[in-house]
Homo-oligomer: A and B are copies of this chain.
Amino acid sequence: MTRNHTPKTLAVLLRARMQSDPIPTPPPPRTGPDPDPAATPAATVRHWLHASASAASPSAAALDSFSDGYRSLDRVGRREILCSLATEYDVPRARVRDLMRQYMGVASAAAASGADGAEAEEEVKEGAASALYRMERGLRDALRPRYAGFLEAMNAQPGGLKLLAVLRADLLALLGEENAPALRALDSYLKEKLVTWLSPAALTLHHITWDDPASLLEKIVAYEAVHPIRNLIDLKRRLGVGRRCFGYFHPAIPGEPLIFIEVALLKDMAASIQEVLWDDPPTPESEATCALFYSISSTQPGLSGINLGKFLLKRVIDMLRRDMPSVQTFATLSPIPGFMQWLLAKLASQIKLSETESEERNSLGGACSTFRESILLPDEERMIHDAIEQADGNQGIELLQDILKSRQWVKSEKLLAALKSPLMRLCARYLAREKKRGKALDAVANFHLQNGAMIERINWMADQSEKGIQQSGGIMVNYLYRLENIEEYALSYSGTGLIHSSSSLSQYLEASKYCTYVYIMNEKKKGETFLR
């Protein structure tokens, strides 16, 4: 490339502004300014969708008509609207390709001119930079799906944010049934926008008390998802002495927290939810040294996957530290919602595997070997056999499956004693070792670990409610937020999936090590296991 050539090429390219080729217009509304009165409800809503989504700045009236209409639709009607939005107001691909071609030209020319170094004139370089920035901006703009403007206008409308949350909840339900790429893209874009709109800077922390309006307290009762509020006395207790309830509010959704957290101020980190919900009389607040987060509930299914809890926890901890210097321990008492489901699935697959194995052994005349996981330690298996006073041929895992399924085991002292050791050990393993895409399998564990907590302690018979027994065998866990480690732990967990846990957890995990994988050899020595 000659010295004179570069600036000239550039100059031509720079003068060529971003080609303002017409954006392909969406299909025009099939009717005039008002929808056909004979149209179906869904067609009417589509009319308002087209009126809003194809306008440069949609009118408030059209957006309101859309909102009202959408809310009145049934599942089928809403599906039609969501599909229409996702496909008819998609990314303008032809325009994107045109802009890309222009960009590639200018970018290569600019890169070539940059290589010329001092020879290229300062002015030309500046012009090239301007052109690149302008084109990048244009490209960012063109790569936005055409429904972006509609979503933004809706968010700016009174009641619009709530409507968008409803819309996303429907979208998530729909994606559970069908996996259309356009719908998935709409969900991903809408989620991205919601994250921006619900930035912690836009949220207000409010200390919810018994003095708040009944319309707000009613929401707390309705949305409490972890430990249901049974009656007014229960609610009053959770807002009274030694208790705190904080909600995160958004100006566009007044009178209703997006998420709220319940805190108990205690002398020690509680080991059971019973102590928290029914302590009477309460610990005087001046004696409290531990803030225990015992419930956190979000209220909008449409905001699923948007981590508001992280910032809520952070702000509540900051506020408590400031207001109550004697409180030094910040911990949770949390459910383990996925434990039983995981364990039962594990038992079922192992039982199936051992059945297949024995069939194969029979058909192959007794010669078979396989890698198999042993769920129970030999001692644990023996204790279970002893407890049910049944020493027949059934394997320990089959017995365990039957016991857990019946849910009657919590009523038997003997069974409780026999199960404590294996269930606590397996629970520790489930929390600290079982992963999905590099993150803790348990959703609540993943939530607290990504916020920078560590697993401090697991507690036997800590939640004896029906739900507690069913979900986690009655076990609950304390996650601990150590102020000096929060950032470091959050970082290492998000980076490498490293889960920090206390020495009490390590003991359980140490025991598990001896039975993670066991090689069953077929040498007529049934029951003998080689531990590794």
Contacts and interface: CB of A to CB of B under 8 A. Distances in A.
A325 B335 CA distance: 54
A60 interface: yes
A14 to B, nearest CB: 11
Interface stretch (A169-177, A199-207, A228-236, A503-511): A199-207
A387 interface: no
A312 to B, nearest CB: 12
A103 B100 CA distance: 10
A139 B143 contact: yes
A531 interface: no
A275 interface: no
Contacts of A143: 136, 139-140, 143
A201 B495 CA distance: 34
A19 interface: no
A469 interface: no
A485 interface: no
A491 B197 contact: no
Contact of A137 (B57, B160, B185): B185
A182 interface: yes
A225 interface: no
Interface in A36-85: 56-57, 59-61
B93 A107 contact: yes
Nearest to A495: B56
A252 interface: yes
Interface string A81-115: 00000000001010011001101100100010000
A22 to B, nearest CB: 15
Assembly of this chain: how many copies?
2
Contact of A202 (B96, B144, B250): B250
Interface in A106-134: 107, 111, 126, 129-130, 132-133
Interface in A418-471: none
Given A100-B104, A140-B140, A143-B140, A133 B181 contact: yes
A529 interface: no
Given A140-B143, A140-B144, A491-B57, A201 B156 contact: yes
Given A130-B181, A156-B199, A201-B252, 4 more contacts: A133-B181, A137-B185, A140-B143, A196-B196
Interface of A: 56-57, 59-61, 91, 93, 96-97, 100-101, 103-104, 107, 111, 126, 129-130, 132-133, 136-137, 139-140, 143-144, 152, 155-157, 160-161, 180-182, 184-185, 188, 196-197, 199-204, 250-252, 311, 487, 490-491, 494-495
28 contacts: A56-B495, A57-B491, A57-B494, A59-B487, A91-B136, A93-B132, A96-B107, A126-B180, A129-B181, A132-B181, A133-B182, A133-B184, A133-B188, A136-B143, A136-B185, A137-B185, A137-B188, A139-B139, A140-B140, A156-B199, A156-B200, A161-B201, A196-B196, A201-B251, A202-B202, A202-B250, A204-B251, A251-B251
